[in-house]
């Protein structure tokens, strides 16, 4: 009976640690949606969210890895930290449920597993029970310098996301040479199609004249995962500052955008559709393509990682 109990506790520790590790892993495939979740629901500044996302992933990986290895540290500090983390996350889930409803992805497993706040709270309740049993009945491994090893491994896990997923630069790639004119005027005509989803003329706001003023234009394919990240990021920025001069050029006019809007919630960003051939001509078949346009001339390019709200605002205001 004692042996069976010991084996059960070992299995529970490995399973709990494995769940923490899986949660960390799903948040970095890629890590940007997790950053966007922190901006959208916690209203963190972009830089803070970028750091916090990596710190959170590192903490989950550290606690999970050490639970799998049965290295609980001095006075079972690792188990206590994991317990406290789940309590804090549960408080966040209650707040999210109250403010955003239960029909949102809490982000506990990134985009790999869609989970509502209520479902995640049930999962967390089970985790708390299991970790309470481990803290009460399981001592883990203890040997000479085991606490030192635990501390070093904890620090290494925390640092790992910052090494594997370095924070990108926040300035665009300025085209000192090779700048070119971007003219989308021939494609400003309203879209006419039998599909209800396409009975929306370009643009959704007043027509945009790229020949006058500064604009950030993103060429996006509706089924492209990274294009959706771009649209979601632009939408979050526009919700923070509606004066940002964004335009999305979405390739193709035969596809239904219902799923695209659901994934990105980006209808607050001016947009247009473009036929396949000119879209591929502009992008060279590589998208998302994000260009900075100054009085009709493309002067810089960004990636969805380096697109930065402060940099855009400083550029349009001439700072």
Give the DSSP per-residue string, 227-241: HHHHHHHHHHHHHH-
Q: Helix, strand, coil shares of the chain as percentages rounded to 5? A: 55, 10, 35
pLDDT of residue 151: 95
Mean pLDDT of 51-69: 96
Residue 36 in tokens: 């966007």
**pLDDT band for position 1 (cuts 50, 70, 90):** low
CA distance 242 to 244: 6
**pLDDT band for position 314 (cuts 50, 70, 90):** very high
Cα 312 from chain centroid? 20
Give the DSSP per-residue string, 124-176: HHHHHHHHHHHHHH------TTHHHHHHHHHHHHHHHHHHHSPPPPSS-EE-S
pLDDT of residue 207: 62
CA distance 10 to 15: 9
Identify the CATH class of 173-317: alpha beta
pLDDT of residue 56: 96
Mean pLDDT of 57-75: 95
Burial class (CB in 10 A: 0-12, 13-18, 19+), 74: exposed
Residue 262 has pLDDT above 80, yes or no: yes
**pLDDT band for position 238 (cuts 50, 70, 90):** very high
CA distance 238 to 268: 7
pLDDT tens per residue, range 163-205: 999 887 777 888 877 678 887 766 654 443 334 333 334 444 4
On whether the CB atoms of residues 208 and 215 are closer than 8 A, the answer is: yes
Average pLDDT, the chain: 87
Helices and strands (H and E) in the chain: how many:
10, 7
Give the pairing of strands 180-181 and 173-174.
unpaired
CA distance 237 to 245: 11
Mean pLDDT of 56-63: 97
Q: Which pTM does this prediction carry? A: 0.83
Q: Where are the domains of the chain?
A: 2-164, 173-317
Phi and psi for 195 in degrees, rounded to 5?
Answer: -75, 135
Residue 42 has pLDDT above 80, yes or no: yes
CA distance 319 to 311: 9
CA distance 133 to 176: 63
On whether the CB atoms of residues 295 and 212 are closer than 8 A, the answer is: yes
pLDDT of residue 100: 87
């Amino acid at each position: 009976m004692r042996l069976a109990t010991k084996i059960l506790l070992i299995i529970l520790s490995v399973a709990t640690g494995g769940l923490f590790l899986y949660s960390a892993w799903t948040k970095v495939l890629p890590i940007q949606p997790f950053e966007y979740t922190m901006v959208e629901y916690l209203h963190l500044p972009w830089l803070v969210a970028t750091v916090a996302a990596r710190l959170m992933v590192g903490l989950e990986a550290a606690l999970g890895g050490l639970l799998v290895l049965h290295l609980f540290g001095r006075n079972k500090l690792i188990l206590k930290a994991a317990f406290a983390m789940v309590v804090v996350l549960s408080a966040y889930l209650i707040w999210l449920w109250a403010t955003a409803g239960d029909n949102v992805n809490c982000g506990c497993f990134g985009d790999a597993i869609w989970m509502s706040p209520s479902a995640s709270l049930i999962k967390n309740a089970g985790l708390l029970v299991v970790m309470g049993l481990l803290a009460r009945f399981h001592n883990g491994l203890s040997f000479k310098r085991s606490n030192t090893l635990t501390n070093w491994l904890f620090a290494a896990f925390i640092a790992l996301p910052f090494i594997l997923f370095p924070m990108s630069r926040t300035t665009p790639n300025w085209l000192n040479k090779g700048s070119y004119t971007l003219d989308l005027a021939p494609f400003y005509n309203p879209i006419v199609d039998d599909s209800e989803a396409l009975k929306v003329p370009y643009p959704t706001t007043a027509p945009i004249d790229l020949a006058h003023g500064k604009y950030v234009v993103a060429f996006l394919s509706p089924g492209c995962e990274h294009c959706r990240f771009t649209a979601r990021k632009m939408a979050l920025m526009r919700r923070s500052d509606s004066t940002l001069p964004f335009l999305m050029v979405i390739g193709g006019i035969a596809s239904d955008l219902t799923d695209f809007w659901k994934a990105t919630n980006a209808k607050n960003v001016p947009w247009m559709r473009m036929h396949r051939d000119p879209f591929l001509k502009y992008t060279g078949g590589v998208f998302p393509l994000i260009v900075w346009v100054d009085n009709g001339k493309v002067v810089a390019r960004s990636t969805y990682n380096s697109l930065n709200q402060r940099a855009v605002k400083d550029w349009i205001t001439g700072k």
